[in-house]
Amino acid sequence: MDESDNLVPAEIIEKRIFLLRSQKVMLSVHLAELYQVEPRVLIQAVKRNIDRFPGDFMFQLSKEEFANLKSQFVISSWGGLRRSTPYAFTEQGVAMLSSVLRSKRAIQVNIEIMRAFVKLRQILASHSELARKLESLEKKYDTQFKIVFDAIRQLMAPPEKGPKKIGFQLKERRAAYIKGK
């Protein structure tokens, strides 16, 4: 069996990329699982090479961030009780992990993770481009379809008066009631 047969499909990697602090990140527990190492081994390797991981490459989740992230998932795959919150690695931090974890698997998994980050960036870029084109079309055709928009607004407006009654209407005087003595 070829080692590339053991690699993780891109869909699984993509599901492990989260948006935290306005950055796309992967958590240390998930990375350790992908690299097939214990989470503590991964963190020990990072701490031995902490100079390679500045704040924009890696940060530790706050308890609130971790609780919020866990609450988004019905089935907890976070490994039971924890003494500390996991670390989050940005794309650059994940790339740096391959120099810290020197196994062939780590290198191959990192290649797949980098491809997933690139694919995600391309999807986001095409989405924003589509939104820009739609906005441009709305501005361009708004004046040409002004009559249509005005007609739709008139149809949506509530009627000015209640409906007119049809037929003969008899207005009777009310009966005067006699008050008791």
pLDDT of residue 3: 44
- HEC assignment per residue over the chain: CCHHHHCCCHHHHHHCEEEECCEEEEEHHHHHHHHCCCHHHHHHHHHHCHHHCCCCCEEECCHHHHHHHHHCCCCCCCCCCCCCCCEEEEHHHHHHHHHHCCCHHHHHHHHHHHHHHHHHHHHHHHHHHHHHHHHHHHHHHHCCCHHHHHHHHHHHCCCCCCCCCCCCCCCCCCCCCCCCC
Task: Supply the pLDDT for residue 51.
Answer: 93
Does the predicted model carry a pTM greater than 0.85?
no
Q: What is the pLDDT, as a whole number, of residue 75? A: 43
pLDDT digits (tens, 9 = 90+) for 86-97: 999 999 999 888
Q: Compute the mean pLDDT over every residue in the chain, rounded to the nearest whole number.
A: 78
Q: What is the pLDDT of residue 77?
A: 55
Residue 96 burial class via C-beta count within 10 angstroms: exposed 0-12, middle 13-18, buried 19 and up = buried
Between 58 and 118, where is the model more confident?
58
Rounded to the nearest angstrom, the gap between the alpha carbon of residue 39 and the centroid of all alpha carbons in its chain is 25
* Confidence band for 137, pLDDT divided at 50, 70 and 90: low
The residues spanned by each domain of the chain are 8-131
Cα distances from 22 to residues 56, 63, 139, in angstroms, run 11, 17, 30
pLDDT by residue (tens digit) across 38-61? 989 999 999 999 999 999 999 999
Residue among 97, 96, 94, 89 at smallest CA distance from 55? 89
The whole-number average pLDDT for the span 135-156 is 64
